[in-house]
Chains A and B, each alone.
Chain A
């Protein structure tokens, strides 16, 4: 089982994720239409690029935009969730040892204590995101079972990973479950809302170009996100 999961399934899930997400990213930009969106993308490439980067970067900084500052609690749990969700899978020591064995390369690694803190942060923040969904009427009305499913899919590798890491119960069982959850997540990325991993950048870039090219970016100081 372990051999299968770390062999063919590893390649299949990673391939599906990378190829799928690349396809979606490319299709997004190929699908842009200057007349339908009413943005002259090609006429002002420099302004467009500047606007796109501005739009992306500001939103990647905690409290970097008016939107984030307006909702400090959401900002904290949002970044508490996403920072761990991005860094831990990529830079966890165990993942990189595996990578080294598998493909001969490894990335920089997180200190184990930091990895623990970030993993816990993902779980706690996911729990708070659920509470927020339940308690705030303006979020509850939007929430569907699908939203919980996506959250569950995202947090499952962290829960199972931590159980394995603390060696609670049967280590081999939890490690296998962790790998299954991780691979399920990777496969789901291109086909679900998790595609926002890439499409967040695409969507933010588009609105940034819209504001930079058409909606006043060339007048005065540009956009105060």
Chain B
């Protein structure tokens, strides 16, 4: 069958299309249509010809089939060392096979590819660190997702997610007005406790432009308030933009590269319009990767950098604590066993391994911080990265995938897991719901607010 009404090769371009797809609860009809979606082999092979160049070609060719990547993969471990979860096998049997067959693959094959690309790899890139040849299968899976997306073989939620970015320039149906209103409302709610608290909108030349994750606006607005409070207490000259405020990119998880470009350019335009000294993004891993690490390339910036210096929230927080802009009340520091979840997207993929530990040294009483093993750039994915958390069709596989992180946390003996990343935070919440190991989990902002000293001049009048 040619393309379906809901499941097809066309990206979502309008609000109406988005609403139609959203109304198909759970993607029932969408996946039904996918069963008879044709593969456009000509297009597939042409795209490969244009985009699969020497690096990836060489990776596929010289893989020694040594299997050293096997136990680098948390999904291999979580699935009782199933050989079908060996990263090299997963990529060779999907992308490798498509290349070998010059794109001549059928619907059934593409279903298998889709499941492998989204339910057997979170693009955490850990395997690339364990391959003697330096073959990064996470990078190849991300590339493969792009091919799947182009062919219409993409999980329902991610087709929607990419569509959201195309329509709203946000991962959820949050408009610019919603964003500004919600931020203002949250600030008003906290004005009494923090006199002078404000959210400067579209202020030019501020020291900081703060960008967020749309789900904070939609589901966790207190996060916006916490960000405002901490900037306020630190005495920062900051602002948010009324348009181009969304740092995340579900389009990156979906493999919709055109939407990735549209999304990140909206943020860069805000940077260029408001000319802040720095951009600081919220506590999110993939948002940072999308806007700061990969984004410049989607936008065609040959220096690989966003228009202004852009840092992760943990970098700002460490700096504020180090320089005394924020002071922690020593009596309120954490006095229970606490560990830290290293986000793949800004630790393994952006080197921020020590900065979070510096934060721990300020907020945890000596002797209470425990490392997960392994940690830093060798840490395992939370189990829900790369869009895995959000795909209903692959929920059983995701829940199984949480086991590696669960066991890592149990082994550490920690009671509290600090997860400065939305995906990690979700995955750890879900693993507690699923496996009930008796832990708490948190972002950094609420923890800092619970222990920060409020300068005299910022205290509310009695």
Contact B303 A142 (CB under 8 A): no
Contact: A143 with B65, CB < 8 Å? yes
Report the nearest A residue to B59, measured CB to CB. Answer: A203
Chain A-chain B contacts (Cβ-Cβ < 8 Å), number: 157
Assembly CA distance A186 to B62 (angstroms): 17
- Report the separation of the CA atoms of residues A136 and B67 in the bound assembly, to the nearest whole angstrom: 9
Segment of A1-9, A167-175, A192-200 in the binding face: A192-200
| Given A216-B350, A224-B376, A196-B64 contact (CB < 8 Å) | yes
Asked if residues B84 and A215 are in contact (CB atoms below 8 Å), the reply is no
Of the candidate stretches A10-18, A65-73, A99-107, the one touching chain B is: A65-73
Q: Could you say which of B83, B347, B351 contacts A137, with CB atoms under 8 Å apart?
A: B83
Which B residues are in CB contact (< 8 Å) with A111? none
Contact present for A219 and B132 (CB under 8 Å): no
Q: Is the CB of A193 within 8 A of B64?
A: yes
A67 touches B131 (CB 8 A): yes
B351 near A218: Cβ-Cβ < 8 Å = yes
Interface residues in A31-50 by Cβ distance below 8 A to B read 31-40, 42-44
Q: A66, B378: Cβ atoms under 8 Å? A: yes
**Using an 8 Å CB-CB cutoff, how does the interface string of A58-82 with B read, 1 for contact, 0 for none?**
0100000011001100100010000
Q: Are A196 and B55 in contact (CB under 8 A)?
A: no
Interface string of A171-208 (1 = CB under 8 A from B): 00000000000000000000001011001101110111
In contact, A214 and B55 (Cβ under 8 angstroms): no
Other-chain residue from A59, A141, A195 in contact with B83 (beta carbon distance below 8 A): A141
Check if A222 is an interface residue, CB within 8 A of chain B: yes
Which residue of the partner chain B has the closest CB to A224?
B377
A189–chain B nearest beta-carbon distance, Å = 12
Question: Which of A35, A74, A140 interacts with B68 by CB under 8 Å?
Answer: A74
A221 to B353, CA, bound (A): 9
Q: Which residue of A lies closest to B57 (CB)?
A: A31
* Those of B18-50 within 8 Å (CB) of chain A: none
| Residue of A with least CB distance to B61 | A193
B185 at the interface (CB under 8 A from A): no
Interface size class of B (residues with CB under 8 A): 35 or more
Closest A residue, CB atoms, query B86: A138
For A28, the chain B residues whose CB sits under 8 A away are 54-55, 58
Contacts of B301-318 to chain A: CB distance below 8 A? 302-304
Contact A142 B89 (CB under 8 A): yes
Q: Is the C-beta of B421 less than 8 angstroms from some C-beta in chain A? A: no
Given the known inter-chain contacts A74-B66, A217-B351, please indicate yes or no for A207 contacting B294, CB distance below 8 A. no
Given the interface contacts A214-B293, A219-B351, A219-B352, does A142 sit within 8 Å of B67 by beta carbon? yes
Q: Flag whether B135 is at the interface (Cβ < 8 A).
A: yes
Which B residues from 140 to 196 make CB contacts under 8 A with A? none
The CA of A59 and the CA of B129, in the complex, are separated in Å by 11
Task: For B55, give its contact among A42, A67, A71, A206 (CB under 8 Å).
Answer: A206
Q: A43-B303, A141-B89, A142-B92 are in contact. Are A215 and B83 (CB under 8 A)?
A: no
6 closest Cβ contacts across the A-B interface? A216-B351, A31-B54, A40-B304, A207-B134, A139-B67, A38-B297
- Using A34-B297, A216-B347 as known contacts, list a sample of 19 further A-B pairs with CB atoms less than 8 Å apart, ordered by residue number in A: A36-B51, A38-B304, A59-B132, A67-B68, A67-B130, A138-B86, A142-B67, A142-B86, A142-B92, A195-B61, A203-B62, A203-B135, A215-B349, A216-B348, A220-B353, A220-B355, A221-B351, A223-B351, A224-B376
